[in-house]
Structure 1
Amino acid sequence: MYHSAIIRKGIATLLFVHFIIAAAFAQTKTLVSGITLKVNGTSTLHDWEMKATGGTCAADLTFSPAGQLTAIPALSYTVAAETLKSEHSGMDNNAYKALKTKKNPNITFKLTTATVAADGSIKAQGQLTIAGVTKVVDLTAKSTTTAGKSVVIKGSKVINMTDFSVEPPSFMMGAMKTGNAVTISYEFTLHQ
């Protein structure tokens, strides 16, 4: 009798500890808003920028009891490539042709691993697909928790277009050529 009481007490204690740990680091499906994606590059004439303010993002996040982001178990993002717009429709059309949007309408990112430091900095790795070509990329970002328990994540990544089989567009019969390297910047807000 004495041993079974100790065993029951031990099991009860383990279950209690398990529930406390689960509550302390709750994983939450989140609502995502305020998505902004920018692509900045250079050319022989001037620097350029294309911007999209949309797409779909799904994320699972883990928060501490104080509401700080502690982990990102899952995240995926999809944007239609033709929602990227510059100030010049001619440039947009050449970019869509280079991105092969008729065959590959979407740009996607799927997270494979991520670590979140105490200061909110994020190191992540995932699969980025552009123009139908998928590459594993390493990303760094910064997360900031707002008073309303939302998390804003910002980051950027320099890539070469040719790594994704994208020929850097040229304009005016080749007189203006874009550089191979572009900077992809992203910002989105996650709501607990």
Structure 2
Amino acid sequence: MLKHALLAAGAVVLLAGCGTEEAPAPESQAPVTQESELLAACEDTEELEEVAEHSCIHAEYGPFESVTAAPHGGPSFVDVSVGHTAYNVTLPAISYQKWTLGYAGSVIFTPEESTEYAFLTSGYRAVRVFNAATNEEVGLECRYHVPQEVCGNLRTAVTADLEGGVDYRLDFAAVVPQPATFLLVVEETGHDHHEE
């Protein structure tokens, strides 16, 4: 039994990694993936600030859609591709007996255009992006911590260059005591974000 508990705990730690470079507020502190931990801070913060400001409108006023991510490691058919939408994503629990060790799951995002996208979340969630067909991991470009004065509802963003029409699996993870649910807004970074 202990062996299974250690394997389950190990899976959460491997997926989530440990620690962050900047220490967020205790309420929102969470580990990030090993790749995200090494990810450089975004240099074009002016453009990302505009993206965050636009995304904040959706984070505050919607439209909203609630989804439950597919369990980590299994196929995902949960789609988060509708533009200008704030998704309330609930991650399935990773448990051993009566203890919940963390939360992990995946959703599918299919971009309309080939460009760079920002994945903005309300908490510090571990995130990895994979080509759903080939299972190849897509390298994340950079990370951006959303300043409180820019948006109170979104905390962080990672960016990645994606090809239009390709299905991507977004893997998210959080370790207890983080909540299972968080807000996700996906926006293109190269367009005028004031259009609806």
Higher CA-based Rg: 1
Could you say whether these structures have the same fold, taking a TM-score greater than 0.5 normalized by the shorter chain as the test? no
TM-score (norm 1): 0.29
Higher strand share: 1
